[in-house]
Amino acid sequence: MRVGEVKLDDFSGVTQLFRLILDNIPQGIFWKDRNSEYLGCNMTFAIAAGVGSTENIIGKTDYDMPWAHEEASWYRKIDARVMANNRPEFHIMETQLQADGHRAWVDTNKIPLHDSEGRVIGILGTFEDITQRKLTQEALQRAHDELDLRVKERTADLQEANALLKQEINERKQVEATEREQRTLAEALRDTAAVINSTLEPDQVLDRILSEIGRVVPHSTANIIMVQGETATIVRRRDPGKNGVPAKDFSKSFPLESLPSLQRMMETKKPLIIENTGTSALWVARPGESRVRSYLGTPILIENAVIGFINLYGLTPGFFQNADGDRLRAFADQAAIAIQNALLYERAQATAALEERQRLARDLHDAVSQTLWTVSLLADVLPTLWANNREEGRGALSRLRQLTQGALVEMRALLLELRPAALTGAKVEDLVRHLIDAAMSRKKIRMSLTVEGSCSLPPDVQVVVYRIAQEALNNVTRHSQASRAWVRLRGGPDRVALRIRDNGRGFDPNDHSPDHLGMDIMRERAEAILATLKVESGIGAGTAVMLRWPASGRHTTRHGESPR
């Protein structure tokens, strides 16, 4: 007879080999009929059930077993479900009161049994005692809990300092939606803070602010308005439909009084939400805003004064909520810091440039005045010298010519300093040659210039090279007591090396502070363009100033390495 044709009653007559196999399987095995009455089991199950031999289980139900009544009811419920659905169920984790009185955890599997015609005639079940596994898991959990407790105890000193952070973390665990919003806001505010540290260019600050605002408050379009007196100007505009790139829009200026919404924020210094622009008296539509249905704006405050506004627009009424206003205000506070730093930096640069131009112009003016005064004296005595001694007259005439040429060179330098654009429009070798001519007109020092290659430098680099050469040559004429100086300029389209050396008295870098010689200023200028500056000097050994600039990280040198 084939296996598929075996009747349930025949399970009790299985062969001795089959019985031997069943009894040596470590898992408990049992089978039941449609009424959940046991038809057989292996020895492992018989021991757990406390029935002695496997034959003693035939005809019994789960209520006849040692397990609790509620356990028996649960087992039969699962049996009925498996047979009704004709679908096996695996890994049913449940407790079971064993015959020896202890309660065990068992992992049970139940599958429907079919006759030769495919009808469900009972179930076949297996179970495995996983009590030890459960105990091990519980022990691991206890160990984990104990370890967690120790970690918390070790971090007790940090809890006071991180109390606010811990409170925020707990709130995030309680409300997942709030956690996501707060994280987005924190990241956006962090990026705004990064703007403060990464750039001080006003245009870049405005671009970054407008690019990041969408991470804080969703919107359709946005702009930044700056205020000057009674005039408002749209300085940046962003439309997500146009790749979200901020656009400059300086042409749209208008009186503040023409927009009641801005006037309201000027007065309250708080965010303003217009839920429906079609019904609000505060809304006055401007060209290009006909599709706007809701509005959210906030003032940008610096020292409690309104300097501008961040404006967000929605295409549906009621798009913005009160929470959006709070988030936008927090973002605007960060934006105000970035804008203020950028404006202060811009003013500081302008002030420093003006002061430097005034100082250099004053120095040059003094030099020209002294030279012209000397020329005037020489011109007064020249006729007398010529009449008394023509040789001395010729010498005085030559000196007069030299002084006049020197004054001309100084005047050209004065005009160059008063027109900074000329520093970037000329070739750097011509600028250095001009500095040498001016230096020789002030002091009887022989100077030579050697130029190798042709330098084509970015404007900011060329200005720094000029300023450092100017400062170094001023030191030669004023402090070195040198009779000779040599200037070498080597360069190309992406690099430049400048060396200025004299045979003067020099100084000891270890014992002498070089501040009054402008060394710190020269180093700061070099660092601003990522160049290398090295100064070598010794008592009686003259001084050498060496500058080397690499472009785009190429031709880099270690700090202090001299240009080749």
Per residue in 35-56, pLDDT (tens digit) is 999 999 999 899 888 888 889 9
Of 81-85, 359-363, 469-473, which one has max mean pLDDT? Answer: 81-85
* pLDDT tens digits, 105-121: 889 999 999 999 999 99
Q: Could you count the other beta carbons within 10 Å of the beta carbon of residue 474? A: 18
Reply yes or no on whether the pLDDT at 81 is more than 90. yes
Q: Say which residue, 542 or 203, is predicted with more confidence.
A: 542
More confident residue, 3 or 438: 438
Checking if the pLDDT of 554 tops 60, the result is: no
pLDDT of residue 5: 44
Q: How confident is the model at residue 176, as a pLDDT?
A: 74
> Which residues of the chain form CATH 3.30.450.40?
182-337
Which residue's entry shows tokens 């302008």? 350
Report the mean per-residue pLDDT for the chain.
79
The total of other beta-carbon atoms located within 10 Å of residue 216's CB is 24
Helical pair 519-528 and 459-479, crossing angle rounded to 10 deg: 170
Q: Which of 2-16, 229-243, 365-379 has the highest mean pLDDT?
A: 229-243
Confidence of residue 406 (pLDDT cuts 50, 70, 90): low
Instruction: Answer whether residue 14 shows pLDDT above 80.
Output: no
pLDDT tier for residue 172 given thresholds of 50, 70 and 90:
low
The pLDDT, as a whole number, for residue 429 is 85
Higher pLDDT: 407 or 182? It is 182
Q: Which of 141, 131, 89, 138 lies closest to 111, judged by CA? A: 89
pLDDT digits (tens, 9 = 90+) for 335-366: 888 788 877 777 776 676 666 666 665 655 55
> If residue 500 lies in a helix (H) or strand (E), which one and from where to where?
strand 495-502
Superfamily of domain 3-134: PAS domain (3.30.450.20)
Give the β-pairing of 484-492 and 446-452.
Answer: parallel
* Mean pLDDT of the 376-385 span: 72
Higher pLDDT, 419 or 226: 226
Q: Is the pLDDT of residue 207 over 50?
A: yes
Distance CA 242, CA 223 (A): 14
Q: Give yes or no for residue 84 having a pLDDT over 80.
A: yes
pLDDT band at 560 (very low <50, low <70, confident <90, very high): very low
Please report, rounded to a whole number, the percentage of residues in the chain having pLDDT higher than 90.
22
What is the percent of the chain where pLDDT is above 70? 77
Q: Is the pLDDT of residue 555 over 60?
A: no
pLDDT of residue 356: 64
φ/ψ (deg, to 5) at 310:
-105, 125
Instruction: Identify which of 238-242, 310-314, 427-431, 553-557 has the greatest average pLDDT.
Output: 310-314
Q: Residue 547's pLDDT is what?
A: 92
Angstrom distance (rounded) from CA 201 to CA 460:
15
pLDDT given for residue 436 in this prediction: 86
Q: What is the spatial distance between Cα 365 and Cα 414, in angstroms, rounded to a whole number?
A: 7
Helix, strand, or coil here: 363? helix
pLDDT (0 to 100) of residue 180: 72
Question: Which overall architecture, per CATH, does domain 182-337 show?
Answer: 2-Layer Sandwich (3.30)
Q: Which two tokens stand for residue 500?
A: 């200025």
Q: Which CATH class is domain 427-564?
A: alpha beta
Give the model's pLDDT for residue 557.
36
Question: Could you identify the residue written with the tokens 């002294």?
Answer: 370
Instruction: Judge whether 496 and 457 are in contact, CB under 8 Å.
Output: yes
- Output phi, psi for 543, to 5 deg: -135, 140
3-state SS track over 419-453: CCHHHHHCCHHHHHHHHHHHHHHHCCCEEEEEEEC
Q: Supply the pLDDT for residue 563.
A: 37
Distance CA 291, CA 342 (A): 34
Q: Tell me, what's the pLDDT at 73?
A: 93
| pLDDT-based confidence at residue 2 (cuts at 50, 70, 90) | very low
Report the pLDDT value the prediction gives residue 216, as an integer from 0 to 100.
Answer: 80
All CATH 3.30.565.10 domain ranges in the chain, comma separated: 427-564
Q: What is the DSSP code string of 386-398?
A: HHH-HHHHHHHHH
**Which of 506, 231, 507, 198 lies closest to 345 in space, CA to CA?**
198
Q: How far apart, in whole angstroms, are the C-alpha atoms of residue 310 and residue 327? A: 12
